[in-house]
Amino acid sequence: MSSTIDAARRRLVGLGAVTAALMALSIVGVFLVAPEDADQGVIQRIFYFHVPIALISLVAYGVACVAAIMYLRRGGEKWDEVGVVSVGLGMVFSILTVLTGSIWAKASWGTWWVWEDPRLVTYLVVILLYAAYFVLRSSAEDNRRARYSAVYAVFAFAAVPLSFYSVRVAESFVHPVVFTRSGADMPGSMLIWFFVSLVAITGLFATLLQLELLQRRADRAMRDLKNRLETLMAGT
């Protein structure tokens, strides 16, 4: 057990180093190298972080959903841990998405919050949806916690696209979607920094996930050891 934890730690250090380098590179690139947006000016640069963070938060919920399915099919505390850590990271990333989006809204449209923007509103719904995951987790009885969490992780992930769609349908009737932020028509010099940032944020997610999982794995190993010791002591 201890040798594999050691190996996992070495891998984590490697991953962390690469991620840190990529983060540094993307910060330099986004703020110093990428060209200034003609219409929006400096605030447009928040986009390089805002969009990758938003995407990765959805990826995190997806990871949690897959882990939940694995847990329900095969069992194993490990999958439950992947699930809860992923949802936690997804929450942090969703909150950052709303915060960065809100800053952008203030700079571009002069107000912190725009109900007409379906994406911001949906992320708020998603945050509420996944906040409930933790409430459920803390309320469930010990022997049901992992199972209920897994069921809810699958359930909530199905709710995400429906929330997106419902908010969009509602908006399209009230207001035409006037703010398009599509990144596809960006010039190549912007696009490349977008991708660097996307990879860096992905690395950040992977590193944090591994870090927390390793921590929990060590805790579990410790607990097993303690249990074994107690059994041994009781036997004599």
Partner 1 sequence: MRAFGGRRAVDGVDLELAPGRRLSVVGPNGAGKSTLLRILATLLRPDAGTLELAGHDCDHHAQRARPSLGYLGHDPLVYLDLTAWQNLELFGDLFGVDDLRNRIPDALSRVGLLPRAHDPVRTFSRGMAQRMGIARLTLHDPVLLVLDEPYTGLDAQGARLLDGLLEGFASGGRGAVMVTHELGRAVDLADEVLVMRAGRAVDRCDTAGMDAAAFAARYQELTA
Partner 2 sequence: MSASPLRQMRALLVKDLRLELRTRETAVAMGLFALVGMMIFQFAIGTRTDDATPFAGGIIWATLALTAVLGVGRTWVPEREQRVLDALLTAPVPRLVLMLARSVALVLYLLTVQVVVVPMAIVFFVRDAAFSDLGLVAVVCVLADVAIAVVGALLASMSVFSRARELLLPVLLLPSIIPVVIAAAGATHAVLGPGNALDEYWRYCVFLGVYAVVFGLVAFATFDHVLDD
CB of residue 90 to partner 2, shortest distance in Å: 15
Which listed range, 17-25, 163-171, 194-202, 221-229, lies at the site for partner 2 (CB under 8 A)? 163-171
For partner 1, the closer CB: 6 or 224:
224
Distances (CA, A) of 2 to 47, 85, 121, 222: 43, 22, 46, 10
In this structure, the number of other CB atoms found within 10 A of the CB of residue 94 comes to: 26
Q: Which of residues 67-96 bind partner 2 (CB under 8 A)?
A: 72
Interacting positions 143-202 with partner 1 (CB under 8 A)? 143
Residue 79 near residue 116, CB atoms below 8 Å: no
Site string for partner 1, 58-97 (x = CB under 8 A): -----------------x----------------------
Q: Does 141 bind partner 2 (CB under 8 A)?
A: yes
**Rounded CA separation 114/109 (Å):** 9
170 touching partner 2, by CB under 8 A: yes
Alpha carbons 68 and 210: distance in angstroms, whole number: 17
Which one of the spans 25-33, 166-174, 195-203, 221-229 is the region binding partner 2 (CB under 8 A)? 166-174
Q: Which long-range contacts does 177-184 make (Cβ < 8 Å, 24+ apart)?
A: 177/118, 178/116, 179/108, 179/109, 179/117, 181/47, 181/51, 183/47, 183/51
Binding mask 21-60 for partner 1 (x = CB under 8 A): ----------------------------------------
CB atoms closer than 10 angstroms to residue 198: 19
Binding site for partner 1 (CB under 8 A): 75, 142-143, 223-224, 227
